[in-house]
Structure 1
Amino acid sequence: MRIEPSRLAGVAVFVPDPHRDERGLFTRTFDAAIFDDWLGVPGAAATFVQDSQSRSGRGVIRGLHGRRGRGEAKLVRCANGAVHDVLVDARPGSATFGQHESFLLDDNDFRHLYVPPGLLHGFQALTRTADVCYRIDRGHDPAEDVAVAHDDPDLAIRWPLPVTVISERDTTAGSWAGLITQLH
């Protein structure tokens, strides 16, 4: 497994090396020792407490979601299909605050993202179905949820497909400017 840097501070792309043969493939999707070594914190992998999975149809957008307080760290990967994954740095004081970056996550190369606390996360399904898996370091507390509209003009994120479905929560999500005032 190799690790590719992102232009967003603290974000990394973990790239497994699938073994493919006539049966199909086998790949390691997580390795605690590699993760701990990259982060430079022995035992950091053990802080993950929850695994979740979502399934979405082509064109569906989920996000942009984040957490107040100390935030949450997560590993995100697409186990089936493909997604256009987007991160927005919402950490005041970060060198990349307010910037976003997009990543292709799919079931071909099994890349997955380490998303440090303080970033907003969202994705759009690119295939008929897309299963996204999340490994999270904190239990969910709805009182800490924050959301910014996927089409916020200040962020100007380009989504590759027309939106087919979006939740009511995401339809009524706040603005980037509104979130900034809450962060300071």
Structure 2
Amino acid sequence: MDVLETDLTGVLQFRPSPHRDDRGFFSRTYDDAVAERWGIVRADFVQDSQSRSKHGVLRGLHGRSHGGEGKIIRCAHGSAFVAIVDARPESPTLGRHVTLTLDDEDMASVYVPRRMLVGFQVTGEVADMCYSIDRTHAPDEAIAVRYDDPELAITWPMPPTELSDRDKNAPSWADLLHSLDIDPARR
């Protein structure tokens, strides 16, 4: 399994080496020894979740207040364009983002440290996204930022076919910074 660093400190992509033959494939999707070399301990993750979305659906940008939550994300079926925004107040890359594709061909996963925002858009017919999370879900701590916030300037693959009411009405990046008491000059 290869590990690729991204432009956001701590955001890592894990790229397995699937074994394929006429029957199909076999792939390791997580390896403790590899993850621990990067400071990630599987025992720290307390909850696994899965979502299924149709082509063009966009979910996000979502995060969590009160220290955030670390997560490992992979696409078990289909394909999705993923955007990760640095929302760590002390980070030199605050407000910057990285994008990548997760799909069932490469079988890569991405580790997202705490206090990041994540969104994805389904680029295949359907996408089953799997999440391992290091804190129990707490709906009252959910935060969101508009996927199309001009200050973040994320280039999504297509206009969204569907958005939740939460995502349609999400506040701006500037509003989030204000709510977190982050100096606008740091943007």
| TM-score after normalising by structure 1 | 0.96
Following superposition of structure 1 onto structure 2, how do residues 130-141 of structure 1 map, counting pairs within 5 Å? Answer: 130-141=127-138
Residue of structure 2 equivalent to 1:162: 159
Q: Helix, strand or coil for the counterpart of 2:33?
A: helix
Counterpart contact for 1:55–1:129, Cα < 8 Å: yes
Residue of structure 2 equivalent to 1:80: 77
**Gapped regions of structure 2 (runs ≥ 5):** 182-187
* Deviation, structure 1 residue 63: 0.4
Count of residues paired in the alignment: 181
* Aligned alpha-carbon RMSD (Å): 0.9
Structure 1 residue identity aligned to 2:134? D
* Deviation, structure 1 residue 27: 0.2
Structure 1 residue identity aligned to 2:177? I
Residue of structure 1 equivalent to 2:184: none
Following superposition of structure 1 onto structure 2, how do residues 42-53 of structure 1 map, counting pairs within 5 Å? Answer: 44-53=41-50
Task: Tell me which of 147, 150, 153 is aligned to 2:150.
Answer: 153
Counterpart contact for 1:9–1:95, Cα < 8 Å: no
Residue of structure 2 equivalent to 1:60: 57
> Deviation string for 1:109-148 (max 9, x for gaps)?
1111000001000000001111110010111111111000
- Tell me how far apart the structure 1 counterparts of residues 79 and 42 of structure 2 sit (CA, whole Å): 25
* Deviation, structure 1 residue 36: 1.2
Q: Does 1:121 align with 2:118?
A: yes
Residue of structure 1 equivalent to 2:96: 99
Residue of structure 1 equivalent to 2:178: 181
Q: Name segments (4+ residues, structure 1) moved above 6 Å.
A: none
Q: Helix, strand or coil for the counterpart of 2:107?
A: coil
- Tell me how far apart the structure 2 counterparts of residues 168 and 120 of structure 1 sit (CA, whole Å): 18
Residue of structure 2 equivalent to 1:3: 3
| TM-score after normalising by structure 2 | 0.95
* Deviation, structure 1 residue 169: 0.8
Counterpart contact for 1:80–1:132, Cα < 8 Å: yes
